[in-house]
A and B are shown apart, each in its own frame.
Chain A
Amino acid sequence: MTWFSSPTDAAARLGDAGYLADTATATTAYLAGALEKPLLLEGPAGVGKTELAKAVARATGAGLVRLQCYEGLDEARALYEWNYSKQLLRIQTARGADGAAPDWDATHDDIFTEEFLLTRPLLTAIRRDEPTVLLIDEVDKTDVEVEGLLLEVLSDFQVTIPELGTVVATRKPLVVLTSNAARELSEALKRRCLYLHLDYPDAEREREIVAAQVPDLDDAVARQLVATVVRLRELELKKAPSIAESIDWARTLVALEVRELDQAAISATLGAVLKHATDHDRAVRELRLRA
């Protein structure tokens, strides 16, 4: 199956799915589908990396399989695992039935079958027959060994299980990896991926995104909001507000029924955008707000 027919098609269908993609994003998403290569998304938190993967799944009607990475993630959690307790149970019940222990070969053939296999996200995504988007979220949080594991999966779309043989993908999933760049990923992994750095959008695009996500917000207020957020990003803050924060802020303003984003309104709701005390102080000083 083809995922998108052209970059324009990608932009249009992602737009229908509620994700406003710029040229670079749409082109890269199209290429990821056309070249069947994994797509590595990097960028600050809250610019819509995970959301892009979800939007691709929605736009193409594919199922989404998600692997959330964390420190200490291992093969057993990412790929597959044998259901030990069920296997033990199986051996014990077999013995219980006729008193004598069954012969080893039969037991062996019996307990290493599909029934006792627990598939984890990577194997699940490879074995699915329907179109699948595999989202590997926050890949920078894992250990380096897991990256090695991903290499086999991402380049050949196959998994080798010693007892069962090699499982090859019947239908290659579209793989999206996201990273906050907490550590540098290995060159080997990067080489296999298409790379896209998602950054804060320009003011006009951000206004469109806010308007699409929070349709109740007054257009004039939306403009003021975006202008303020752009200004805040220029300050040297610990955590600059991203799109997610803009949208939160817009929702806050709608909930409070704010019609005019003046200084009082900004200082009252600044907590929705800035999450550090020092950032807060700095913004109050630089924007000349009365705290």
Chain B
Amino acid sequence: MPPAPPPPGPPPREPAGSAVRSGLIDRHIAFVEALRGAGLPVSLAEGLDATAALRRLDWTDRSAVRAGYAATLVKKAGQRTTFDTLFDLFFPHLVGEGLATLDPAAEDPAAGRALDPSRDNAEAVAAFRERLATTLADALAAEAGERSEHSDGDAAPPGDDLARLAAEAVGRFGAMPGRTAGQTAYSAYQTLRRLAPGELTDRVVAGLLGDLDTDAMDPAARERAERSVARGVGRFTRLVEDDARRRIAERKSPEYVADVAVRPSIDRLAFTAARREDLEEMRRQVAPLARRLATRLAKQRAAQRGGPLDFRRTVRASMSTGGVPIRTLHRPRRPHRTDLVVLCDVSGSVAHFAQFTLLLTYALRENLGRLRAFTFVDRTTEVTHVLRPGRDPAEVMEELVASTQHAALVGRTSYGAALHSFRSQYGDALGPASSLLVLGDARSNYSDLALDDLRAMTSGIRAAWWLNPEHPRHWDSGDSAASRYAAVVPMVECRNLVQLEEFVQRVL
């Protein structure tokens, strides 16, 4: 795909008498700035590497430019999504409608004619949905390789069709009058609401299955088709969102959109702001995170040398230096293992956070002595049996969610009642060797806080921490009793995976 010229905007002022500036360097610098703003640590040296790389690459090949930038600037897999979004903003694959060949009726939207009723009415929506269904079905069929013989080799890859369709959809159905006359604004939300691609699923599934679709058919095949269609619809949704962002970036500036519309990378995304698919992605991050932490912990322990001298190995090692013991070797120290008691608030908004932390501690259990886990809303219940070793994390998660109903009597969070019931029922779980970890936002619906119970629980144990998934500026607002609990148990802010990782590494 040809690269886009810089989008229309205020033309860069050129100093008189200087050579013509392409604006490429400005754009490069703005792009690097935006990456830094989004939390990618791009150093000056890496920026220079990127320019060196681009000089070796063909500017007309957008995927090569993307690969060149990615190789030199992005050094963590988790940051790739952020990078891709910003790259699409700063180096869009097309400008404006860009559809002149596909849709002869397309005209310059800036003139306001995109609102032409013939292009945008109920009939047009229906016709467009028809086309969308066909394109989706074709794309998915081609992907499955079942109908590859029908399409000729010259056809563009199906992904491109879908992208073009998404761009057209935003241009036609997402256009709204802008704030000032003659301007057009674009909305992904409106586009998707009017087209409702989700409701096309059944039709596309039927199209995919074709004549095979009878009651006698294998239910697994139908399920497979449904899943692939859902994936296709999801892709279309993302394309529409991308295209709306691109159009906004053309009008305002990429920097503007980068500031307001780019989501943080998954490890910096707040637990409480996560969407459904983010949660799944986060859950997938738990296992690698636990593995990384375990290696790091093992290394830290290995580094703490100073155990008793291992005489045999020292003499053995001195052989290579002619019998002179140049290097002494020591026995490893007996590792210290923490007995951990985790107490989680599983009510509504903080439930996700508690589950993640519980999953993470569970994944780290090899580094722990004993782990006992309790959940509560207004009553404490033990969930240790759910965290049996060797179980599949997805199942564990489901059971944890199910256990919530045992944790509630009335259903309103009450830390006081929960702490009290913990102390009376499971008080023996805490001993001199154990550490207590409380997970929750300390929002107790103005009920009794049972500070005395908490104080009694934390006296005589090794350590206690409270992880709070809220930003410290929200602590003590409304019904939050954060600082009153913090006076008893040190409270730590833990809003995203990065902070969780830091905490676990520090205390274990």
A interface residues (Cβ-Cβ under 8 A, vs B): 6-7, 23-24, 27-28, 30-31, 34-35, 37, 40, 42-43, 84-85, 88, 143-144, 181-184, 187, 190-191, 193-197, 199, 203-204, 207, 223, 227, 231, 234, 236, 238, 277-279, 281-282, 287-288
User: Are B321 and A236 in touch, CB under 8 angstroms?
Assistant: no
**7 more CB-based (< 8 A) A-B contacts, given A88-B322, A191-B43:** A27-B57, A35-B49, A35-B52, A183-B292, A191-B46, A195-B70, A236-B393
User: Are A184 and B145 in touch, CB under 8 angstroms?
Assistant: no
User: Are B67 and A28 in touch, CB under 8 angstroms?
Assistant: yes
- Given the known inter-chain contacts A184-B292, A197-B77, please indicate yes or no for A84 contacting B321, CB distance below 8 A: yes
User: Are B283 and A236 in touch, CB under 8 angstroms?
Assistant: yes
Closest CB of chain A to B159's CB: distance in Å? 10
- Given the known inter-chain contacts A24-B67, A195-B74, A231-B224, please indicate yes or no for A236 contacting B394, CB distance below 8 A: yes
Q: By the criterion of a CB under 8 Å from any partner CB, how many residues of chain B are at the interface?
A: 46
Bound CA–CA A234/B52 (angstroms): 38
Interface digits, B242-256 against A, CB 8 Å rule (1 contact, 0 not)?
A: 000000000000000
- Given the known inter-chain contacts A7-B64, A35-B53, A227-B144, please indicate yes or no for A197 contacting B394, CB distance below 8 A: no
Set B43, B63, B71: member contacting A194, Cβ < 8 A:
B71
Interface digits, B35-65 against A, CB 8 Å rule (1 contact, 0 not)?
A: 0000001010110010011001110010110
By Cβ-Cβ distance, the 5 closest A-B pairs, closest first, are: A27-B67, A24-B67, A190-B75, A194-B71, A197-B77
User: Are B287 and A24 in touch, CB under 8 angstroms?
Assistant: no
Bound CA–CA A35/B70 (angstroms): 15
User: Are A23 and B67 in touch, CB under 8 angstroms?
Assistant: yes
Provide 23 A-B residue pairs closer than 8 Å at the C-beta atoms, listed in order of the A residue. A7-B57, A24-B67, A27-B63, A28-B67, A31-B56, A31-B68, A31-B72, A34-B56, A35-B52, A88-B322, A144-B299, A183-B299, A187-B41, A187-B75, A191-B45, A191-B46, A194-B72, A195-B74, A197-B77, A223-B145, A227-B144, A234-B227, A278-B391
Bound CA–CA A144/B144 (angstroms): 45
Query: Which residues of A have CB within 8 Å of B394?
Result: 236, 282
B interface residues (Cβ-Cβ under 8 A, vs A): 41, 43, 45-46, 49, 52-53, 56-58, 61, 63-64, 66-68, 70-72, 74-75, 77, 80, 143-145, 220, 224, 227, 283-284, 287-288, 291-292, 295-296, 299, 320-322, 390-394
User: Are B63 and A24 in touch, CB under 8 angstroms?
Assistant: yes
**Best-buried of A23, A195, A207, A278 by chain B (most CB within 10 Å):** A195
**Best-buried of A184, A199, A207, A287 by chain B (most CB within 10 Å):** A184
Closest CB of chain B to A1's CB: distance in Å? 16
Closest CB of chain A to B292's CB: distance in Å? 5
Query: Which residues of B have CB within 8 Å of A282?
Result: 392, 394
Query: Which residues of A have CB within 8 Å of B295?
Result: 182-183
Set A30, A35, A181: member contacting B288, Cβ < 8 A:
A181
- Given the known inter-chain contacts A143-B299, A236-B393, please indicate yes or no for A195 contacting B143, CB distance below 8 A: no
